[in-house]
Amino acid sequence: MTASASPIPLRRLALLLGGLAMFGPFSIDTIFPAFPQMGAQLGADKLAMQQTISVYLIAYAVTSVVHGPLSDAIGRRRVILGGLAVFALASVGCALAPDLATLLAFRALQGLSAGVGLIVGRAVIRDVLDGDDAQRLMSQVSMIFGVAPAIAPIIGGWIIGWSRWPMIFWFLVAFSLALLVATWKVLPETHPPEARLVLRPRRLARDYVAILLNPRFQRLAAAAAFNFGALFLYIASAPAYVLDLLRLDERQFGWFFVPTIGGMVLGAWVSGRAAGRISGARLVSIGFAVSAVAALFNVAYNLSVDALALPWAVLPMMLNAFGIALVFPILTLAVLDMYPRQRGSASSLQAFTALVSNALIAGLLSPWISGSGLWLAVAAGLFTAVGWAFWRWESVVSRG
């Protein structure tokens, strides 16, 4: 299907797919301002509250390998609608949770369903468009998706200002139901029956092994995962970074998230404008160079001060997010283009590698180093360097 054959206007499609990609990050970032209140009511310390993120991400990662192939077999639309319905029910469970164990169980159920918007949405983009047009649409979706981590903690802070933490999950219920209705009314099926694959577990496992063992997939997926990991480390550490290191309160998460996600949105806009004018490979190299400058500035700043202060403490994250947004659409489309008949599976496996990385960051690395601005800066810089090394490896192999 091409742009001219698409039954839905591309701007409307971008808004819908962006919204679908947002509800996953919303379920992470909206609750950050509520951590102190939730911990006090549920009898959980900071480390225990951090598990509300890692449990969600682990569940997200486990089922990310299912969403894509399922959409290859039964269609994109059905999978998205089913995932939204499950997510809404899981959010109801979180809102009514009487203790931490129950909350973690329903957080896991949220994670099991949250990947449908982002993972299947990527396959929808590649179903509809090719080449530079696909890059432009991917960039538009990234711009909308990038707004979520910026406004989610602000919304959470507002809600905490006039209500209790369960109201955040009732907000997620309303948001997911609104997306369900919009998907039902607006999104056509972009993967027709004649293009679908029969879902056979043995063949699916064989296909997954083949994709995972493909050296090019490994290089591209690793470059994307480590590149984003530099930013996700700060997102996962946001409660400690904002409340303890920057010494702000629960309603001031925007001082961290707005500049950071502003950089991501601007980078996604530049990526879309550059489509067809600058080669994808060159754009990725520029993105990594920008992130490297951000990493060096971040380490230097943390070495030079005794206490972090605005705006200098958040400027490196803004610059790093800009670089990441230049890189992300190119690497994602490169992975999808490797498997034109298995785009759902390819998207799932790319998401799986990133989610496993993010879960480890949130569950292990972030609690260990989030009390130190310098350690966060050094670790983020190392993530950027490793991501660039994998991209450099891919560039050398593709030229040779």
Q: Are the CB atoms for 355 and 60 separated by under 8 Å?
A: yes
| Residue 286, pLDDT above cutoff 50 | yes
Using 50, 70 and 90 to split pLDDT, how confident is the model at 388?
very high
pLDDT at 282 over 70: yes
Q: Say if residue 170's pLDDT is above 90.
A: yes
- Alpha carbons within 13 angstroms on the beta-carbon side of residue 90 total 23
Cα–Cα distance list, 83 to 20, 89, 199, 399 (Å): 10, 10, 18, 41
Mean pLDDT of 347-361: 79
Rg (CA), the chain: 20
Nearest of 200, 176, 186 to residue 73 by alpha carbon: 200
Are 272 and 141 in contact, with CB atoms under 8 Å apart?
no
- pLDDT attached to residue 210: 84
**Tell me: the pLDDT tens digits for 116-150?**
877 787 778 777 776 667 767 777 676 666 667 66
User: What's the pLDDT at 145?
Assistant: 66
> CA–CA separation, 317 vs 301, rounded Å?
12
The pLDDT confidence band at residue 301, using thresholds 50, 70 and 90, is very high
pLDDT in tens, 214-244: 899 889 989 999 998 998 899 888 888 888 8
The pLDDT mean for the chain works out to: 83
Q: How many CB atoms lie within 10 A of CB 368?
A: 12
Which fold is adopted by the domain 10-399? Growth Hormone; Chain: A; (1.20.1250)
State the pLDDT at residue 21. 79
What pLDDT is stored for residue 260 in this prediction?
84
**Domain extents in the chain:** 10-399
**pLDDT in the model for residue 2:** 43
pLDDT tens digits for range 362-379: 777 888 888 888 999 999
